[in-house]
Amino acid sequence: MAKNNITKQADNFPQWYQDVIREAELADNSEVRGCGIVRPYGLKIWELIKAELNRRLEDDGVENVYFPIFVPLENLMAEKDHVKGFAPELAIVTHGGGEELVNKLAVRPTSEAAMYKTYARWIQSYKDLPLRLNQWANVVRWEKRPRAFLRWSEFLWQEGHTVFVSEDEARLEVDKILNIYSDIYKFMALPAFIGRKSESEKFAGAVMTKTTEIMVKDGKAVQGATSHYLGTNFAKVFDVKFLGADGKFHLGHQNSWGLSWRSVGALIMGHGDDNGLRLPPNVAPVQVVIIPIYKNDESKEAVMLYCENIKNDLAKSYRVKTDEREDLSPGFKFNYWEVRGVPLRLEIGLKEVESKSVSVFRRDKETKELINLSELKTSLENLMLDIHNNLYQQAKDFADSHIYRIESLDEIDGRLGWFEASWSEDPESEKMLKEKYSMVSRVLVPENENKAPKNKKCFITGKQAKHDWYFAKSY
């Protein structure tokens, strides 16, 4: 245990994660098993991610909609793969308004089955397409082994649901959205591995799933967001058809895609260190914290005035906060904001006031420098950019240096990281891998999809390999 009540990453990474969430006041346990409370500091991170993604989606012509939280069970049962995937995780409402319901309702685990009957009503002709709607909502998937942000029974997310005239158009959008998701992770200074999921790992009911996978600092994977081509699987079931330009009826080609507050979990695990969170400026609720340091009333007055002027000046460009708490020492405050990952800390005492300067501490490198007041604004601009780039580069270097090429199962060992292997894509082999090694395929990246596997033989079955895939344990 360090000064900050946080377990060291190397000692127990999952415990470190829980400790950081508690100490940085990101989230808390609730009265309901499996569900969490997201506290203001944690929720603000999600709101910043959400605002950026919403802007990107709106710019791309997607419109927001809101469908009910309840889904008639019979709708959920209609698509056979979908129900198989979600039935074990449902929360069921059996009573409403004091009466037992004739038709039981599920709390939505995702909204394909909630939306597409209505889509069928809205869509008449090819002129109504593409239909591209998105919903910011809570969903419930009952979790036996909950983990904060990554695996709570209730979570907040966005789910896009789109309909196209042709398969080509739909598949193009799958990639377009995947690239937006990848950009959102870049916004969080996290490099994402994007590409296709295996047949066993794809979304229940989809023809194909593409994913955004993040390597976190214990070498495991976090699925950051997914983009699915649903084909006409749901269109058949819910009768989503349109009158084409050819005067005939056709089934719509559908996609769905989602990013949730798991992204906050990936962010914590992707950047944090033994001292707590490290936040890239884009998603830091507080980008600059000012700590006044004084010994007596006289120095206090001068210091506080100096701090206030700087704060007012910086507040035009940054989310800035002065920690004015009287009964806490500067040392306590340094630690308090370090745990919370604030990118820049300004330490201001009489020395700084008298020399017209500011001591600037950057959280990512834990270095401090004295900056002239006249150069503060330019320096901060550069520092913010440099912190973002440094965090990104560190995460990228870590990921790049923790992917190990293997040719056979024997080579899977305790190394932190992912394994790259040539694989037959045989579902049975993946099942075995999951059971014996707690590991599945994470993603087939485009570079590997577009070339022959390095080894002709599958590393598990010895049969013909199809591509080089990444395999990893995951959260």
CA distance 466 to 469: 9
Q: Residues, the chain, total?
A: 475
Report the residue from 1, 61, 88, 247 that binds a second copy according to the rule CB under 8 A.
88
Least Cβ distance, residue 469 to a second copy (angstroms): 31
Q: Is the dihedral of CA 303, 308, 313, 316 positive or negative?
A: positive
CA distance 170 to 131: 11
Binders of a second copy in range 422-451 (CB under 8 A): none
Report the residue from 22, 23, 60, 69 that binds a second copy according to the rule CB under 8 A.
69
> Which of residues 149 and 306 has its CB atom nearest to a second copy in the complex?
149
Which residue, chain included where needed, has tokens 């791309």? 60
324 binds a second copy (CB under 8 A): no
Report whether the peptide linkage leading into residue 130 is cis, meaning its omega lies within 30 degrees of zero. yes
Report the residue from 5, 138, 408, 438 that binds a second copy according to the rule CB under 8 A.
138
Residues 30 and 36 sit within 8 Å (Cβ to Cβ): yes
CA distance 279 to 299: 32
> Which of residues 32 and 452 has its CB atom nearest to a second copy in the complex?
32
Which residue, chain included where needed, has tokens 């470190």? 16
> Which of residues 51 and 385 has its CB atom nearest to a second copy in the complex?
51
CA distance 353 to 263: 41
95 binds a second copy (CB under 8 A): yes
> Which of residues 70 and 398 has its CB atom nearest to a second copy in the complex?
70
83 binds a second copy (CB under 8 A): no
CA distance 212 to 195: 7
Binders of a second copy in range 140-159 (CB under 8 A): 140, 142-144, 153-154, 156
Which residue, chain included where needed, has tokens 């999809």? 449
160 binds a second copy (CB under 8 A): no
73 binds a second copy (CB under 8 A): no
Least Cβ distance, residue 157 to a second copy (angstroms): 12
Binders of a second copy in range 37-66 (CB under 8 A): 37-40, 43-44, 47, 63-66
* Residue 98-137 contact track with a second copy, rule CB under 8 A, x = bound: x------x-x------x--xx--------------x---x
Tokens of 66: 């809101």
> C-alpha distances in angstroms, 171 versus 79, 165, 174, 175, 355?
21, 11, 5, 7, 60
Residue 62 amino acid letter: V
Least Cβ distance, residue 117 to a second copy (angstroms): 6
Residues 430 and 440 sit within 8 Å (Cβ to Cβ): yes
24 binds a second copy (CB under 8 A): no
Least Cβ distance, residue 46 to a second copy (angstroms): 8
User: Looking at 23-31, 160-168, 344-352, 435-443, which segment touches a second copy (CB under 8 A)?
Assistant: 23-31
Least Cβ distance, residue 73 to a second copy (angstroms): 11
296 binds a second copy (CB under 8 A): no
CA distance 96 to 163: 33
CA distance 337 to 12: 23
Helix H or strand E encompassing 468: strand 467-472
36 binds a second copy (CB under 8 A): yes
**Binding-site ranges for a second copy (CB under 8 A):** 28, 30-32, 35-40, 43-44, 47, 63-72, 75, 87-98, 105, 107, 114, 117-118, 133, 137-138, 140, 142-144, 153-154, 156
